[in-house]
Amino acid sequence: MLNARIGFIGAGQMATALGQGLVKAGLVDKEQLLASDPAEGARERFSRTVGAKTTPDNLEVVDGTDVVVLAVKPQQMREVLAQVRGRIGPGRLVLSIAAGVRSATIAESLGAATRLARAMPNTPCLVGRGACAYCLAGTATAADGELVGQILGAMGVAFQVEEKLMDAVTGLSGSGPAFGYVMIEALSDGGVRMGLPRQVATTLAAQTLLGAAAMVLSTGEHPAVLKDRVASPGGTTIAGLQAMESGGVRAALIAAVEAATRRSAELAAGS
């Protein structure tokens, strides 16, 4: 159980997922959470899903919690930072989950002495299967890093990285769910082309990728080793793999991560 009060500025989907994950994991009681949002509907959804108190006042969150999670859209960040400037002392940890907003931008508003962490969650956090990464900045300590890892780990897995790698994280795990959805859709289309009903094909495709991912994570073996175990000489799988190589699937996926990473860097530079 975490001995900290956690507040969210912004009560949208990601904040709700994080709050729900913390309570379900038993890391906090719902009474330890507080979320603010100007939208009544967002506050109601957070309260209904998480069971925690909400408020329309961001400063109530800042003054009443130990960890302040900035869960607002990137374009709202400067306005929020201006509002809370001078209200967050060295006793509080600030965790930003706003995509593309660099730590330097936040520290410029809140002060270099701020204990600060920046994280990149992804949408599967909404179902407890997130892949997150985070970095520390300002005066954040190793203990702060452990705390952030616990908080983000409530939604899936979390890795601490250097901030210079956050764009790569965005390109891989941040954008990656969309790449995975395209793969599931394409596999389903292949099944339908071969005569399977659409719902059966989609479920088989999704479950197959879910199972393959579970095999990689549970065995710890290289994906190439697991692939070779499926591809018997002269069999169906090696024929399909040859078709994938001919179609440039591997190169396209590598290029997708590279393109998303470059775009993340461009957006961050303009924030």
Give the pTM: 0.91
* Cα–Cα distance measured from residue 62 to residue 215, given in angstroms and rounded to the nearest whole number: 43
182 shares a domain with 128: no
Q: Give the Cβ contact number of residue 220 at 10 Å.
A: 7
Pair of tokens at residue 246: 């001919």
Closest CA to 55 of 17, 96, 82, 46: 46
How many DSSP H helices and E strands does the chain contain? 12, 8
**Is residue 1 a part of any domain in this protein?**
no
**Is residue 154 a part of any domain in this protein?**
yes
32 shares a domain with 153: yes
Pair of tokens at residue 224: 């190439």
The per-residue pLDDT for 271 is: 66
With a CB cutoff of 8 Å and minimum separation 6, the contacts of 267 are 74, 99, 100
CATH number for the domain spanning 18: value is 3.40.50.720
**Is residue 42 a part of any domain in this protein?**
yes
217 shares a domain with 103: no
225 shares a domain with 186: yes
Pair of tokens at residue 63: 């003054």
Q: What Å distances lie between residue 185 and 59, 173, 182, 254, CA to CA? A: 44, 19, 5, 19
Q: Flag residues of the chain having pLDDT under 70.
A: 271
**Is residue 264 a part of any domain in this protein?**
yes
The arrangement of strands across the sheet holding 130-138 comes to 53-55, 33-36, 6-9, 67-70, 93-96, 115-120, 130-138, 156-160
220 shares a domain with 102: no
Q: 46-68 b/e with 16+ CB inside 10 Å = b?
A: bbeebebbbbeebeebbeebebb
Range of the domain at 26: 6-166
Structural domain count of the chain: 2
The per-residue pLDDT for 90 is: 82
Q: Given 125, 141, 166, which residue is the final one in a domain?
A: 166
With a CB cutoff of 8 Å and minimum separation 6, the contacts of 81 are 106, 109, 110
34 shares a domain with 81: yes
pLDDT digits (tens, 9 = 90+) for 84-141: 998 988 889 999 999 889 999 999 999 988 999 999 999 999 888 999 999 999 899 9
Q: Return the DSSP state at 173.
A: I
* Cα–Cα distance measured from residue 146 to residue 95, given in angstroms and rounded to the nearest whole number: 13
CATH number for the domain spanning 241: value is 1.10.3730.10
